[in-house]
Amino acid sequence: MNLHAFASAAEASAALAQAVATDLAAAIAARGQAVLAVSGGRSPVPFLQALAAQDIPWQQVTVTLVDERVVAPDHADSNAGLVREHLLQGRAAVAAFLPLVNDGADAAAELAAAAVLWRTPDVTVLGMGEDGHTASLFPAASNLTEGLAAANPAALLVVVPPAAPAAPHTRISMTLAELQRSGKLYLAIAGETKRRVLDNAAAAVSDTLPISHLLSATARPLDVYWSA
């Protein structure tokens, strides 16, 4: 991995937003369009806001999600709600948005619909939980093996996190194989606890820390933006 360390979340977010904007602009220059996948959870708000202010041709960008909770779009835990509130604003308001969940009624139906519209991202920004999950690839999820399978042709899968209520809601998540197929890969994390988890994951590949499977890839190292 390439570790970029910052003193504050604001500095890390500004630097990451600039790097992602450069990648999106390069994809647009090469192909006329770009696909960006971002994460949800609590951490990404300053990054999403910094990215929304970047001066790139947003009308040629499609934004989607690395993972989503299978809930109604107006639910407080909806990652799409977070993206609509903090990224699809200002300059970025003209970007297209491809949510993974429509009404949140049925996970299998949502997965089938999302898979039809899915496009492999040019740029993916991951987060990580303190349990080492990334996207919604949770340790001890019943279908984690499928989620982590290197040759899985599926881009997305349904995950039921084992640790509810700590991680409530059935999810739809990118598979590890699709993360590996996507273009530039970033991981944005903050704090000493997540740094320790990251260091442990970098030391050994293990299904108990799913993020470790991405850190082991040497062909295309993960760019980690960490702030204290």
Ligand X SMILES: O=C1O[C@H](COP(=O)(O)O)[C@@H](O)[C@H](O)[C@H]1O
What is the Cα–Cα distance from 171 to 178, expressed in whole angstroms? 16
Q: Are strands 61-65 and 34-38 parallel, antiparallel or unpaired?
A: parallel
CB nearer to ligand X: pick between 79 and 212:
79
Interface pick for ligand X out of 41, 57, 162, 191 (rule CB under 6 A): 41
Of 121 and 129, the one with the shorter C-beta distance to ligand X is 129
Smallest CA-to-CA distance from 92 within 24, 157, 13 is with: 24
Interacting span for ligand X (CB under 6 A) from 10-18, 38-46, 150-158, 198-206: 38-46
| Nearest distance, CB of residue 32 and ligand X, angstroms | 28
Q: Which of 40, 81, 121, 132 binds ligand X (CB under 6 A)?
A: 40
By CB under 6 A, the residues from 46 to 75 that bind ligand X are: 66-67
Cβ atoms 78, 51 nearer than 8 A? no
Nearest CB to ligand X, comparing residues 42 and 165? 42
Q: Among residues 129, 132, 147, 210, which is the contact residue for ligand X, using CB under 6 A?
A: 129
For residue 78, give the amino acid letter: S
- Applying CB under 6 A, the site for ligand X has a residue count of 12
Write the single-letter amino acid at 107. A
Which one of the spans 4-12, 17-25, 39-47, 150-158 is the region binding ligand X (CB under 6 A)? 39-47
As a whole number of angstroms, the distance between CA 223 and CA 160 comes to 28
By rule CB under 6 A, what string of x and - marks binding of each residue 77-116 to ligand X?
--x-------------------------------------
Query: Bridge partners of 184?
Result: 123
Q: Candidates 6-14, 37-45, 102-110, 152-160 — which segment interacts with ligand X by CB under 6 A?
A: 37-45
The answer to whether the CB of 171 falls within 8 A of the CB of 69 is yes
Strand ordering across the sheet containing 156-159: 67-69, 171-174, 156-159
Considering only 1-9, 122-130, 149-157, 215-223, which stretch makes contact with ligand X by CB under 6 A? 122-130
Q: DSSP letters along 46-73, please?
A: HHHHHHHTS-S-GGGEEEEESEEESS-T
Paired tokens of 114: 């999302």
The one among 16, 20, 24, 39 contacting ligand X by CB under 6 A: 39
* Residue range at the interface with ligand X (CB under 6 A); choices 36-44, 147-155, 199-207, 208-216: 36-44
Do the Cβ atoms of 58 and 91 come closer than 8 Å?
yes
Q: Which residues bind ligand X (CB under 6 A)?
A: 39-43, 66-67, 79, 127-129, 136
